[in-house]
Amino acid sequence: MTLLYNETSLHQADGAAAKRPVKLAQVDPAQAGRPQTDFVEISDVTLSYGGDEGVTAVEELTMSVRKGEFAAVVGPSGCGKSTLMKLTTGLVIPQKGRIAVDGTMVRGPLDIVGMAFQNPSLLPWRRTLENIMLPLEIVAPHAQRLRKHKAEYVARAEAMLDLVGLGGFGSNYPWQLSGGMQQRANLCRALIHEPGLLMLDEPFGALDAFTREELWGVIRDLHQKKKFTVVLVTHDLREAVYLADRVFVMSARPGRVVLEREIGFERPRPIDLTYTVEFNDIVHELREKIAEARADTPQIGSKD
Ligand SMILES: Nc1ncnc2c1ncn2[C@@H]1O[C@H](COP(=O)(O)OP(=O)(O)O)[C@@H](O)[C@H]1O
Ligand SMILES: [Mg+2]
């Protein structure tokens, strides 16, 4: 346990909500009953694109994520964050080191993972509900069951839409939805096959600030309800601190973890939390670490 915050008041003056006290308890994971088993284990992993003469994206990268934990990864642009996502899901295989998910070595693409990226990439010719059901057509055992149990799966997809506030929009085409609504649908598609691990690569990066905060609430509540493990890559430090149980800061390329920060604010976390001094102290601490990492970034045109 790294910090202990007790009752505190908000430091944002305007608005009735801002005057409500926010309880900032630093929760010891052991006492909170959070499972302690590692669900994702990455040890000493090195990956170079284009072989030994190519670009070393990550080098001797070691990190692990507990089962049910919400982990966030931040770091300078080009430091290997998306590479880390590809490695963990088996889309690329490292030259060196070991990656295991749920106790099994990763040797190829995993189907216990749901993924969402910045671009929702919903298929424009499919209605929203049909887009959400796409993984069920591919992933076992659903692909085999889908035809016979269609009604059951449609009900599941509709329940997901309700959960993210898109109830009634299933028959709309993606281009009839706003950017925020498309990203909600994207989260539904990532979660429809009930994966144990959700990988999010800058999923809210293209949204305006208000929509992004709404989506934070959506993912916070989904995680609370469904208890999956999350790895979120983001360049938004407030997003990382608000959502995560632990934030990993990566160095400039070749990426490795230079700071691991437990974020112990109790859950559920109100959005007001993001205006407190305690919250912003952590954001500043992370920002300084990233500024150091960026200072080490090789200049464009250098041979590195
Ligand atoms: N398929 C690829 N082939 C060659 N180089 C790549 C490839 N993907 C990424 N890279 C390089 O690897 C480094 C890390 O990339 P990436 O993991 O996308 O970083 P981030 O997501 O942190 O911005 C960058 O220098 C990038 O140019
Ligand atoms: Mg990236």
Spatial neighbors of 88 by CB under 8 A, at least 6 apart, are 40, 42, 99, 101, 106, 113, 197, 199, 231
Which of 84, 88, 253 for a ligand 1 pocket mutation test, highest count of atoms within 8 Å of Cβ? 253
Contact 205, 235 (CB under 8 A): yes
Count CB atoms within 10 A of the CB of residue 15.
11
Q: What is the pLDDT of residue 3?
A: 30
How far away, in angstroms, is 83 Cα from ligand 1 center? 6
Bridge partners (DSSP) of residue 71 are 231, 246
Which amino acid, one-letter code, is at 231?
Answer: V
Q: How far apart are the first and last CA of the chain?
A: 39
Which amino acid, one-letter code, is at 292?
Answer: E
How far apart (Å, rounded) are the C-alpha atoms in residues 177 and 234? 24
How far apart (Å, rounded) are the C-alpha atoms in residues 73 and 246? 9
Pocket lining for ligand 1, CB < 6 angstroms: 49-50, 55, 57, 77-83, 253
Which has the closest alpha carbon to 251: 201, 303, 294? 294
Helix (H) or strand (E) holding 65: strand 55-66
Distance of CA 150 to the CA centre of its chain: 30
Based on its alpha-carbon atoms, the radius of gyration of the chain, rounded to whole angstroms, reads 20
Which amino acid, one-letter code, is at 244?
Answer: A
Helix (H, G, I), strand (E, B) or coil at 25: coil
How far away, in angstroms, is 53 Cα from ligand 1 center? 15
| Atom 18 in ligand 1: residue holding the nearest Cα | 82
DSSP state of 265: B
Q: What is the pLDDT of residue 9?
A: 29
Ligand 1 atom closest to residue 85's alpha carbon, by position in its atom list: 17
| Atom 24 in ligand 1: residue holding the nearest Cα | 78
* Residue count (the chain): 304
How far away, in angstroms, is 54 Cα from ligand 1 center? 11
Distance of CA 5 to the CA centre of its chain: 25
CA–CA–CA angle 113, 119, 120 (5° rounding): 60
| Atom 17 in ligand 1: residue holding the nearest Cα | 80
Ligand 1 atom closest to residue 75's alpha carbon, by position in its atom list: 22
What is the dotted CATH code of the domain comprising 39-112+223-297?
Answer: 3.40.50.300
| Atom 12 in ligand 1: residue holding the nearest Cα | 57
How far away, in angstroms, is 81 Cα from ligand 1 center? 8
Bridge partners (DSSP) of residue 288 are none
Q: What is the pLDDT of residue 232?
A: 98
Which amino acid, one-letter code, is at 34?
Answer: R
Predicted model pTM = 0.86
How far apart (Å, rounded) are the C-alpha atoms in residues 70 and 217? 14
Token readout for 43 is: 């040890």
Token readout for 285 is: 């601490």
Residues with CB in 5 Å of ion ligand 2: 81-82
Query: Domain map of the chain by residue range?
Result: 39-112+223-297
Tokens 């990566």 belong to residue: 250
How far apart (Å, rounded) are the C-alpha atoms in residues 146 and 154? 10
Please list the rounded mean pLDDT of every run of 10 residues in the chain (304 residues).
30 38 48 69 96 89 97 94 96 96 93 90 96 92 89 95 95 97 95 94 92 94 94 96 97 94 96 97 96 71 43
Count CB atoms within 10 A of the CB of residue 285.
15
